[in-house]
Structure 1
Amino acid sequence: MEINKADQWQFLQNYTPARIARGRAGHSLPTAELLKFQADHAQARDAVYSELKVLDLFQALLSTFNLEVLRLQSEVKSRSQYLQRPDLGRTINQASRKILLEEDASESDICFVVADGLSASAINEHAFSFLNHLIPKLQAENWEIAPICIVEQGRVAIADEIGFLLKASIVIILIGERPGLTSPDSMGAYITYQPKLGLTDESRNCVSNIRPEGLNYELASEKIFYLLNEIKVKKISGVQLKDEMNDKQIL
């Protein structure tokens, strides 16, 4: 039996963090690679059950931007329920709905929603830094920005109701994506024009893997700033809106 035989595709590890070319011991992975797999799997599971640092995020947003910040919750009562009942994570609870209605919001160009999703770790690590790149770009162009909403136990579609109640033309939700074995802290951004209850995924544009090891904050903010301007001008989003931005433009 050959032990720890080198994999002929090992050079590909120079180009991707994907779990390829890990070698073998007989018909199995080498012990070291098996232990790394188990550690990455545990890290991904931990990310799913991680908790949103609401107070830290609230204070950071409030002290940095000249914007109101609201704390909201979905109808989910616990993390186990969040995983078992995705539908409850798509709607805000009565207390949060009351908060938004009492805002008596005027019309705005955009509403930012920040939700834990399937990896609160991603939001804890990346949401503020990303917004610190994007919001100043919008403020420089005189975009009218609604209160920023932090949502606990939220799914993507929860932004539709929030954006509608705050009378925003566009809503963008930053949310922790499903953890991968090499990316437990990946953040996604979903953008919707004319948000309202009942919309489905074809109505949204998605920019995913926002993190330093993926699409970094500056590149992600440039990409999303482009999409937001396209949506504002063309008044469409989702599958109707084609991303014609050349990535070389933001390099």
Structure 2
Amino acid sequence: MSSPSAERAPLRGLVLLAALAAAVFVAALLIGSSGIGVSRALAALLGSGDPTTRSVLIAVRLPRVLAAFSVGSLLALSGVLLQALFRNSLADPYVLGVSGGAAVGALLAMIAGAAALVVQSAAVAGALGAVGTVYLLSRGGGTPRLLLTGVVLASACGALVSVLLALADSSRVRGMVFWLAGDLEWAVSPTLSAGAAALAVTVAILVARPLNVLAAGELRARTVGLALEAWRTLLFIACATLTAIAVVSAGTVGFVGLITPHAV
């Protein structure tokens, strides 16, 4: 029988992480090229500060901070779903090349001068292609084959990104490079990433039981009558979509989906 202190340990960890996240949120609002004190920030948020401070805080920093937290949530949830799907604690959108596939799709659309909706759709298509490729090539091979397939695919996507950058208009390459490195400069409206994160977390909570059964193994899932292929397809689409939205919002950010499921 576990002790009460052991049972409370996860709760204490969540409280600590929540406090740390709140501190980082506040620090990100206050710290920048132009420092903003706590009193000035509160006045700006309440609508009584000077126009310059309000513009910097509300129009620039707040959207970027919200986008950063939303992207982290999307990648973390995608990592949880991939680990449940592959039954592998090392599965992650970045390691398995899903982020790279989304980046390739988005870059192709950007170079073609496509609209924002087309760029987002191309990122989803690239992520879907990546996760599908990893799944098909690693079936029956266990953990080593899964990780090797993901690493090879990620490397291939990295090579394709380099080729696309070499072929792109020189006036746009600088912005693309910063975006690929993880850039929130263009995150002026975090509505898409924040809305997707909130919806995805809500849906994941509602379907937590089938996900736990799926993570327990194929035999257990078939025993309880879980529609295995249907759930796998849904998870493929969900992981690809979440990763694509994160990549479009902030570029390729690595290892968030790997670390977060283990941290909580």
Q: TM-score range by the shorter chain?
A: under 0.3
TM-score (norm 2): 0.26
**Structure with greater proportional strand content:** 1
**Higher-RCO chain (CA-CA 8 Å, sequence separation at least 6):** 2
